[in-house]
Amino acid sequence: MRNRAVAEPESGECSVPCSPRGVRESSFSAAMPESSLRFRLVIARASDSTPGDVSGIVTRLHTDTELFWLLSIVRPVAAAPKVCRRSVATCLALLMLDDHLRVLRVLPMASVPHTPGTGVLRRDGVIQTYLGGVLPPRALADTKRIAELLIDGHSSYLDTLCQALSGDETCDGFEAVPADHELYDPEAEQYFAPPPPFQAVRPWGHRDQPSV
């Protein structure tokens, strides 16, 4: 599955993919969504043009009715089950943490009102945010902690995502993004995936943990 879901903004330089390609920018908002929004997880395999030091890319955005988590994994990672499991867990953990702390944005919303939350997981373990900013140490530690919880409690779900990302198998519950959807890209294979079976995780010091 090739992914063209993220691209650079029209103005300013960006060392990592930053926004959904082909999506009408005005349809999306960077504001924190209401809990009534419909949640959708979209997975894809990152394009071959993705920089070689990248393992995965996540983007969090929403319309007036739907909240999207976009998760793409590079081909070599998707082909290695154990590596893919950890990379997917880390990407999901990052998105979960962003729900609480908005760690994926390093600029004020007033400066970039339509900028989605974007994170890039590098192969060296560093996570970059919008415009190449690096995730702070505390947020990185929280992300790794949550990822370990997901691996320990939800490995079968993570493996199901990895099977779809590798192209080996697409299980029940996966649905191709339809042509009339705002995220649709005719040159990409993107799928709505089953939602994560765990609840939101709060940063270190809170009691909430993924249900296992």
Strands 127-128 and 117-122: antiparallel
Of residues 112 and 197, more confidently modeled: 197
Hunting for tokens 């993004």 — which residue is that? Answer: 177
Three-state secondary structure readout of the chain: CCCCCCECCCCCCCCCCCECCCCCHHHCECCCCCCCCEEEEEEEECCCCCCCCEEEEEEEEECCCEEEEEEEECHHHHCCHHHHHHHHHHHHHHHHHHHHHCCCCCCCCCCCCCCCEEEEEECCCCEECHHHCECCHHHHHHHHHHHHHHHHHCHHHHHHHHHHHHCCCCCCCCEECCCCCCCCCCCCCCEEECCCCCCCCCCCCCCCCCCC
Tell me, what's the pLDDT at 114?
53
Q: Region 124-147: what's the mean pLDDT? A: 88
pTM of the model: 0.74
Residue type, 54: V
Tell me the CA distances in angstroms from 36 to 63, 179, 191, 199, one per residue in order: 12, 25, 22, 15
Residue type, 112: V
Domain regions of the chain by residue span: 25-193
Give the C-alpha separation, 48 to 50, whole Å: 5
Q: Does position 87 have pLDDT exceeding 80, yes or no?
A: yes
pLDDT-based confidence at residue 173 (cuts at 50, 70, 90)? confident
Which tokens sit at 195? 């939602």
Q: How many CB atoms lie within 10 A of CB 138?
A: 12
Tell me, what's the pLDDT at 32?
42
Q: How many CA atoms lie within 13 A of 174 on its CB side?
A: 19
pLDDT-based confidence at residue 93 (cuts at 50, 70, 90)? very high
Q: Does position 49 have pLDDT exceeding 50, yes or no?
A: yes
Strands 66-73 and 38-45: parallel
pLDDT-based confidence at residue 25 (cuts at 50, 70, 90)? very low
pLDDT-based confidence at residue 3 (cuts at 50, 70, 90)? very low
Tell me, what's the pLDDT at 2?
41
Tell me, what's the pLDDT at 182?
80
Q: Does position 8 have pLDDT exceeding 70, yes or no?
A: no
